[in-house]
């Protein structure tokens, strides 16, 4: 992975009538990442993805692909990406191969030569001559990914690629994504409403809720096991920070407004409190905030299909 940003959004927003589906969204996706875009139902994932793929126009903000703005004259950037939006549409009475041939000819490039390798990649070679109407849901989903892979894109954007699949289908798609990421040096952006799925496939992630970005960063850092964010309120911020730093109890500590936020294992919180009090630092409050995982579960449970 390098630090080149392949996809960036600035203040991206979409309003439908009076309701904002997406607000002020700043995303940064680096080359080679599997970027998980996580949010409960109705959070704004599909709306964002449609804007990234230039299928709908943002109300505000902009998208940059490979360092260039995505504008109406957008073909150059879009050629380098492949997309799968929710349920892919195929001609059900035609074979998978024929469907891909049609898509390749619409693209007007030489992506027809990719059809065999792409069918191989998604494990549909032996069924490529069967009509799509005879396909299982998982096979259609894999055909959707095959379609996104035509033209050897540098970036693929997949909207809930495992939605509606059974556990075996989910595992197959997950392994496919991991393989594409390993072998292809491809950047993969995928959305999901399941934290476990993002945890297993993604290297970086963003959480979106009610159209707004909640958090963004590397998965390992955001989900560090057993870590809690602890907020300490004290009038002696600088002294407290020095005690915390020398204690070695916290993984990280920084000042937020008039408080200190530490990331630390839960079982060390009591020791930290004792050290601060022993150093004559008044602690007005010491609040373990929820872990990211608990936070995500709470917003997922609270969300409903709107």
The string of DSSP codes covering 95-135 is BHHHHHHHHHHHHTSSGGGGHHHHHHHTT-GGGTTSBGGG-
Among 21, 52, 148, 205, binds ligand ATP (CB under 6 A): 21
- Residue closer to Mg ion, measured from CB, 37 or 232: 37
Surface-to-core class of residue 58, CB atoms within 10 Å of its CB (0-12 exposed, 13-18 middle, 19+ buried): buried
> Minimum distance from CB of 163 to Mg ion (Å)?
8
- Residue closer to ligand ATP, measured from CB, 57 or 306: 306
Query: Nearest-CA neighbor of 296 among 185, 227, 196?
Result: 196
> Minimum distance from CB of 146 to ligand ATP (Å)?
22
Binding mask 182-201 for ligand ATP (x = CB under 6 A): -----------x--------
Give the integer Cα–Cα distance in Å for 203 and 201: 7
Determine if 43 is a binding residue for ligand ATP (CB under 6 A). Answer: yes
In the block, tokens 């992506």 appear at 111
DSSP run (H or E) holding 268 = none
Among 12, 25, 40, 46, binds Mg ion (CB under 5 A): 46
- Residue closer to ligand ATP, measured from CB, 188 or 269: 188
- Residue closer to ligand ATP, measured from CB, 173 or 232: 173
Determine if 162 is a binding residue for Mg ion (CB under 5 A). Answer: no
Give the integer Cα–Cα distance in Å for 117 and 107: 17
Query: Nearest-CA neighbor of 226 among 269, 193, 256, 195?
Result: 269
Q: In this structure, are residues 39 and 193 in contact, taking their beta carbons and an 8 Å threshold?
A: yes
- Residue closer to ligand ATP, measured from CB, 1 or 55: 55
Among 32, 36, 39, 58, binds ligand ATP (CB under 6 A): 39
Site size with ligand ATP, rule: CB under 6 A? 12
Give the contacts of 138 (CB within 8 A, at least 6 positions apart): 165, 166, 168, 169, 172, 173
Q: Using DSSP bridges, classify how beta strands 227-233 and 259-265 pair: parallel, antiparallel or unpaired.
A: antiparallel
- Residue closer to ligand ATP, measured from CB, 215 or 279: 215
Query: Quick one: which segment of 38-46, 66-74, 212-220, 288-296 binds ligand ATP (CB under 6 A)?
Result: 38-46
* Structure tokens, 250: 């916290």
> 247 in helix, strand or coil?
helix
Determine if 23 is a binding residue for ligand ATP (CB under 6 A). Answer: no
In the block, tokens 């292809």 appear at 184
From Mg ion, ligand ATP, none, interface partner of 142 (C-beta below 5 to 8 A by class): none
Give the integer Cα–Cα distance in Å for 75 and 65: 11
- Residue closer to ligand ATP, measured from CB, 14 or 268: 14
Determine if 83 is a binding residue for ligand ATP (CB under 6 A). Answer: no
Determine if 44 is a binding residue for ligand ATP (CB under 6 A). Answer: yes
User: Which residues contact Mg ion by CB under 5 A?
Assistant: 45-46
User: Which residues contact ligand ATP by CB under 6 A?
Assistant: 16, 21, 39, 41-47, 193, 306
């Amino acid at each position: 992975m390098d630090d080149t940003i392949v996809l960036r959004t600035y203040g991206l927003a979409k309003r439908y009538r009076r309701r904002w589906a997406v607000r002020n969204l700043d995303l940064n996706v680096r080359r080679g990442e599997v970027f998980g875009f996580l949010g409960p139902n109705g959070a704004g994932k599909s709306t964002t993805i449609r804007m990234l793929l230039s299928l709908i126009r943002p109300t505000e903000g902009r998208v940059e692909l490979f360092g260039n703005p995505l504008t109406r004259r957008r073909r150059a950037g879009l050629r380098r990406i492949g997309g799968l939006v929710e349920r892919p549409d195929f001609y059900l009475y035609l074979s998978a191969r024929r469907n891909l041939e049609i898509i390749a000819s619409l693209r007007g490039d030489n992506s027809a030569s990719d059809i065999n390798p792409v069918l191989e990649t998604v494990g549909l070679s032996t069924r490529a001559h069967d009509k799509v109407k005879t396909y299982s849901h998982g096979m259609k989903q894999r055909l959707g990914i095959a379609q996104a892979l035509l033209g050897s894109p540098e970036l693929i954007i997949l909207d809930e690629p495992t939605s509606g699949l059974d556990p075996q289908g989910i595992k197959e798609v997950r392994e496919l994504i991991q393989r594409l990421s390993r072998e292809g040096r491809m950047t993969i952006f995928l959305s999901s409403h399941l934290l476990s799925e993002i945890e297993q496939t993604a290297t970086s992630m963003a959480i979106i809720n009610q159209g707004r970005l909640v958090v963004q960063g590397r998965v390992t850092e955001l989900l560090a096991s057993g870590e809690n964010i602890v907020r300490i309120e004290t009038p002696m911020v600088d002294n407290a920070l020095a005690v915390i730093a020398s204690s070695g109890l916290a993984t990280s500590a920084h000042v937020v407004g008039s408080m200190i936020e530490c990331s630390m294992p839960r079982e060390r919180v009591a020791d930290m409190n004792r050290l601060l009090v022993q150093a004559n630092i008044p602690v007005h409050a010491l609040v373990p905030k929820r872990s990211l995982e608990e936070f995500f579960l709470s917003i997922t449970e609270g969300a409903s299909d709107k």
